């Protein structure tokens, strides 16, 4: 699986989470919420240091990653993150790999 993030979405995370160059953003599985790939689960975010990276990408000098233990959630889908200007926030989408 791979992660794709637009520069606009990465800039949003950088500003909202007060990140600096070299920081990390982790997408992790959490119980509850709404998802199109796993019923009853959703993604959370944190600025944790990586432990066991399963997938990653770097944009705006920030590394966005998912740990190996959370890859099951994506069910052979890639994570696509774009910025939606209308709502002034990132939008997560999943594309079958």
List of domains in the chain: 3-96 (2.60.300.12)
Which two tokens mark 19?
Answer: 């990140």
CB 21 within 8 A of CB 95: no
Q: What is the mean pLDDT of residues 46-59?
A: 95
Q: What does residue 6 show for φ and ψ, rounded to 5 degrees?
A: -75, 155
Q: What is the mean pLDDT of residues 52-57?
A: 97
Q: What is the pTM of this model?
A: 0.93
The number of residues making up the chain comes to 97
- Among 55, 52, 71, 75, which Cα is nearest to 63's? 55
CA distance 79 to 56: 10
What is the tens place of the pLDDT at every residue in 22-52? 999 999 999 888 788 888 889 999 998 999 9
């Amino acid at each position: 699986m791979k992660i794709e993030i637009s520069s606009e979405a990465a800039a949003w995370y950088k500003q909202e989470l007060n990140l600096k160059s070299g920081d990390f953003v982790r997408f992790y599985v959490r119980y509850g919420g709404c998802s199109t790939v796993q019923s009853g689960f959703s993604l959370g975010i944190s600025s944790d240091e990586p432990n066991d990276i399963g997938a990653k990408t770097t944009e705006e000098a920030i590394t966005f990653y998912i740990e190996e233990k959370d890859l099951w959630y994506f069910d052979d889908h890639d994570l696509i993150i774009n910025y939606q200007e209308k709502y002034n926030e990132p939008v997560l989408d999943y594309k079958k790999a």
